[in-house]
Amino acid sequence: MRKSKEFNDKYKDYLEEGHYGMDINEPSVLAYVDQIFNDLTKIPEFKYQQVKTKFGLARVYTNLQDVMPFAGRILEQELEDKINFILKVEYELENRLASLNLDKDGKSIQPV
């Protein structure tokens, strides 16, 4: 899964009406959240509204707090923490590659 549109299409039955859903286009984040949502969708009443970054930090909005009052917010917080970690690693990797004049795929960014 490479784009948030693919993610939202896959989980459209769980996206609450009027919300845009996944808004992070980082493939590693999409792969991780896809794994988690694959399990969360087994909760009968599970719905999500947004997964995005706000002021540089991941924010996850679901109905887990309503469905599972004690554990719901903890699950959302863990998901946010893991997404933030993935984004930080991706950022550091891109910066280190750029310092070597390489793009994210390891290809030279200098003209030949």
Which pLDDT value is given to residue 79? 97
Is the entire prediction scored with pTM above 0.75? yes
Spans in the chain with pLDDT lower than 50: none
pLDDT, tens only, 67-96: 998 899 999 999 999 999 999 999 898 888
Three-state SS for the chain is: CCCHHHHHHHCHHHECCCCCEECCCCHHHHHHHHHHHHHHCCCCCCCEEEEEEECCEEEEEECHHHHCCCCHHHHHHHHHHHHHHHHHHHHHHHHHHHHCCECCCCCECCCC
Which pLDDT value is given to residue 102? 84
Please tell me the distance from the alpha carbon of residue 11 to that of residue 47, in angstroms, as a whole number: 9
Using only C-alpha atoms, the chain has a radius of gyration, in whole angstroms, of: 16
In contact, 93 and 102? CB cutoff 8 Å: no
